[in-house]
A and B are shown apart, each in its own frame.
Chain A
Amino acid sequence: MGVCKEQPGVRVALTGNESIARGALEAGVAYAASYPGSPTAEVLGTLAKVAGEFNLYVEWSVNEKVAMEGAAAASFTGLRSLVVMKADGLNVALDFASALALSGTRGGMVIVVGDDPSSHSSVREEDSRNLCKALHLPIWEPSSVQEAKDMTRAAFDLSEQLKLPVVVRCVTRVCHASGDVELGELTRPERRPVFGRDDRVITFSIQLHAQLEQKLSRAAAEASDSFFNGYSGPANARRLVIASGPSAMYALEALDMLGLAGGVGVLKLGTTWPLPETLLLNYLKNASEVVFAEEVEPFVEDNVMALAAGHWNELGSIKFYGKRSGHVAGPAGAGIGELDPDVLAGSLAKIFDVPWAGQTMLTSREAEELLGEKMPGRELALCAGCPHRASFWAIRTALELDGREGVVLGDIGCYTLGIVRTGYYLLQTMHCMGAGVGIAGGLGKLNRFGFNKPVITVVGDSTFYHAAVPALINARYNRANFMCVVLDNETTAMTGHQPHPGRQTTATGGPADTVYMEEIIRGLNIPYAISDPYDVDATINAVCDMLQLSGPRVLILRRTCALAAVKGKEKNRVYVDWDKCIGDDCGCGRFCSKVFACPANIWDAEHGKARIDEAVCNGCGVCATLCPQQAIVVERTVE
């Protein structure tokens, strides 16, 4: 594994997330905790694999707040600790984070936050920098895979120096990128946690606020000399691009594409908060036109403009271009979506008035004219064999049988795809981890106003532990009337199959004290039942039966994620017996492909029969149980 190679100076290919993990190892991290979330899920997974070798404590925590509290504890004893989350996770941890900034830390503590511009795998493209600024925490932003490592390593030093957590804010294009990384020295410090009787870490004094501001002033003073801020371009540039994160790389390439590389300076900020004021003023004093390139919100932009306003008499007239002026904008508009070399080339061409027509050979429409037909889009789909598809089908069918127009609420996980066609558009709300159960609780109290529809909320097993339990306690206590369906695929599937408290193993593969969800539910005195979603008929009956009850109740639909189930195993072979499939004469309306809509169920137009795509099929056999002609055959190799 590249991340544990000893030779400093050697170049190995790492992903951005592995690079962060390597940086933490080089810094001598002792304690790492996280709840999995894209784009940062693989940081902790990487550390978990080498935990034994480096004598680390690595845990998947139940949620991000608990993860941060644990990492802070390690820091209080003088150990170096790392906590990793996505932007949404920082929201969960925010309450503790704001207190932790005040109390301060001891051993270096780094908070890695992954933002997801363009929402590639998130419900929102939140820019966590504004939150981190509100928390009074320093923010560093790597622009490359190499910097992800170097910054993580150095952030531990800064944290220790300031006695304050430091945020390394990464975007998807860094976390999920990979590239050659020059390794540094690994350290294996001796670890001796100390928390004496006189040690106190308490956030209860207005003085702490003053101290926090002083820490930030020190960070600002150091930032101007930081190795992570860099300039390339002509001396005393009048035209300047100020960029952070991968946008700095895009800006350089865009200027090159426009033929402006020699005439425009690029100031790359790695330390984006607090601003490196001296450094910035030094470049601003020569500049007359300044462009901002960053993702997603105008964070550097607003803060640099505020800095310039405070120094207007030294700086003279500067024209600022960015999201506020509307000049730096992708197809979705200024401040919406990620940047790339093309977006910046288009923006810079307009700002600096140089010709640029883009570089595509043809448009989609021209391609379709050449092709002579439309290019169909490709929407997201639950995987072949996904137990959620069977669960959604059963819930949908049960609600039709029930006939009271029941509502279905959603949550965060693979099953979020219940909002789109692959999940039969079943879900009517979707917000954040655990929100579906709380919202169901609210709807479940509206009977007195005449709201009598049955309410179902679906939640995943990992989400159940993360955020659903308090809402269930609330529902029991207040007698809310709804049915919670736990779509239990026995893993955190969306982010790559990490274990959770309901599993038998921990992050590092060691034995866990499993917390069974049934025990929690029993402890709450909530009635529950369990069904296997692959047994569609039984599951429809279970949903129908439970819809008749009142008060809070839970139905666990348990079946291992189809991808996890077949990993490293021979799959069941599923095929259509063409002697039995009677095609469009059946009257089923091509149920397997058109209605149930599993991507492995395809249609053979030439023969007018259903077919299974063996390259896609995961062998669950659910379609075989639903085919009215019983034309689908399952040859079982796994159970």
Chain B
Amino acid sequence: MSTFVEPLNIIITGVGGQGNVLASQVVSVAAAVAGYRVVVGETFGVSQRGGSVMSHVRISKDKPYGPLIPRGRAGVIAGFEPLETLRVMVNYANPDTVTIMNDRPNYPLGCLLGEDKYPDPARIEETIRKLVARVHRLPATELAKEAGSPLAANMVMTGALAGSGLLPFGREYLTATIELLFKDSVRDLNLAAFELGYRQLAG
């Protein structure tokens, strides 16, 4: 367990449709149940249509914070997509930021149309390693497929976040939240995905 720095600033980033909002909801509900003050800054609406999305999650022992993390002050960046991970790091990372990254690209329209080139994900990872001390890359989409659906990559990433040991509360708060928010086969899928992500980082 690493020491809890007040407040714990987490950025969850990805592309609209990848399930950012649900992942941040699971973390925030769990944090509240665990007795922490939590605020999540979120943008959805048109931004969910294939654009870059970002959730700011701020967890504190006892102090209310605003919904936006200041630049350079992310403690953890959970990137659901390599390019978006790097993009967020430029603005919000510092050398101590822990980065957890899904290795699966989601191609922007400009890349599909051949006008832009998607950077090699290995180069993205290499770049991120030059910037921060601790980087975890995982095949979250592949693990999600293993759990039953590539769409559950968000829960793989949530599991990885729990497995990183950075959250000030136990994984049971997160699994209980998943059980609360989902029903039947979706619940089972998300719990399985969470478990696979957790094991990637917790060993």
How many residues in A have their beta carbons less than 8 Å from beta carbons of B?
Answer: 75
B93 touches A361 (CB 8 A): yes
A367 touches B90 (CB 8 A): yes
B84 touches A250 (CB 8 A): no
B170 at the interface (CB under 8 A from A): no
A253 touches B38 (CB 8 A): no
B70 touches A257 (CB 8 A): yes
Chain B's closest residue to A381 (CB) is B50
Chain B residues contacting A378 (CB-CB under 8 Å) are 15, 50-52, 83-84, 108-110
Cα A383 to Cα B35 with chains together (Å):
38
B71 touches A38 (CB 8 A): no
B112 touches A180 (CB 8 A): no
Cα A156 to Cα B108 with chains together (Å):
46
A361 touches B113 (CB 8 A): no
Chain A residues contacting B71 (CB-CB under 8 Å) are 342, 358-360
Cα A458 to Cα B92 with chains together (Å):
40
Cα A173 to Cα B150 with chains together (Å):
30
How many residues in B have their beta carbons less than 8 Å from beta carbons of A?
Answer: 71
Chain A's closest residue to B28 (CB) is A13
A382 at the interface (CB under 8 A from B): yes
For A216-251 the 0/1 string (1 means CB < 8 A from B) is: 000000000000000000000000000000100110
Chain B residues contacting A172 (CB-CB under 8 Å) are 43, 45
Cα A116 to Cα B66 with chains together (Å):
17
A382 touches B50 (CB 8 A): yes
Cα A494 to Cα B44 with chains together (Å):
10
B117 at the interface (CB under 8 A from A): yes
Q: Shortest Cβ distance from B90 into chain A, in angstroms?
A: 5
From A382, A421, A613, A615, give the contact of B153 (CB < 8 A). Answer: A615
A177 at the interface (CB under 8 A from B): yes
A377 touches B116 (CB 8 A): yes
Cα A341 to Cα B46 with chains together (Å):
24
Chain B residues contacting A173 (CB-CB under 8 Å) are 41, 67-68
B203 at the interface (CB under 8 A from A): no
A341 touches B70 (CB 8 A): yes
Chain B residues contacting A373 (CB-CB under 8 Å) are 117, 119, 123
* Interface hits, B21-57 → A, CB 8 Å: 24-25, 28-29, 31-33, 35-47, 49-52
Cα A178 to Cα B55 with chains together (Å):
10
From A2, A146, A253, give the contact of B70 (CB < 8 A). Answer: A253
A597 at the interface (CB under 8 A from B): yes
A474 at the interface (CB under 8 A from B): no
A421 touches B119 (CB 8 A): no
Chain A residues contacting B117 (CB-CB under 8 Å) are 373-374, 376
Q: Shortest Cβ distance from A228 into chain B, in angstroms?
A: 15
Stretch at the interface among A58-66, A599-607, A624-632: A599-607
Residue of A381, A416, A594 contacting most chain B CB atoms (<10 Å)? A381
* Interface hits, A601-619 → B, CB 8 Å: 601-603, 613-616
* Interface hits, A340-359 → B, CB 8 Å: 340-342, 345, 358-359
Chain B's closest residue to A176 (CB) is B42
From A39, A174, A361, give the contact of B131 (CB < 8 A). Answer: A361
Cα A501 to Cα B158 with chains together (Å):
39
Known A-B contacts A375-B87, A376-B116, A377-B108; the reply to A177 vs B45 at CB < 8 A is no
Chain A's closest residue to B44 (CB) is A176
For B114-127 the 0/1 string (1 means CB < 8 A from A) is: 10111100011001
B107 touches A372 (CB 8 A): no
A503 at the interface (CB under 8 A from B): no
Cα A69 to Cα B66 with chains together (Å):
35
A380 touches B46 (CB 8 A): yes
B46 touches A363 (CB 8 A): no
Chain B residues contacting A372 (CB-CB under 8 Å) are 123
A370 at the interface (CB under 8 A from B): yes
* Interface hits, A481-496 → B, CB 8 Å: 494-495
Q: Which 10 A-B pairs have CB atoms at the shortest separation, nearest pair first?
A: A121-B45, A249-B66, A359-B72, A381-B50, A38-B45, A376-B116, A615-B150, A13-B32, A179-B39, A177-B67
30 A-B pairs in the complex with CB atoms less than 8 angstroms apart? A38-B45, A120-B46, A120-B47, A121-B47, A145-B39, A173-B41, A173-B68, A174-B67, A177-B41, A177-B67, A178-B38, A246-B67, A250-B68, A254-B70, A342-B71, A361-B90, A370-B130, A371-B124, A373-B119, A374-B116, A375-B86, A376-B111, A378-B84, A381-B51, A382-B49, A417-B49, A494-B45, A597-B109, A615-B104, A615-B141
A residues apposed to B, CB below 8 Å:
2, 11-13, 15, 38-39, 116, 120-122, 144-146, 172-174, 176-180, 246, 249-250, 252-254, 257, 340-342, 345, 358-364, 367, 370-383, 414, 416-417, 421-422, 494-495, 568, 590, 593-594, 597, 599, 601-603, 613-616
Known: A122-B45, A179-B67, A381-B51. 8 other contacts (CB 8 A): A177-B40, A177-B41, A177-B67, A180-B36, A254-B70, A361-B131, A378-B110, A597-B109
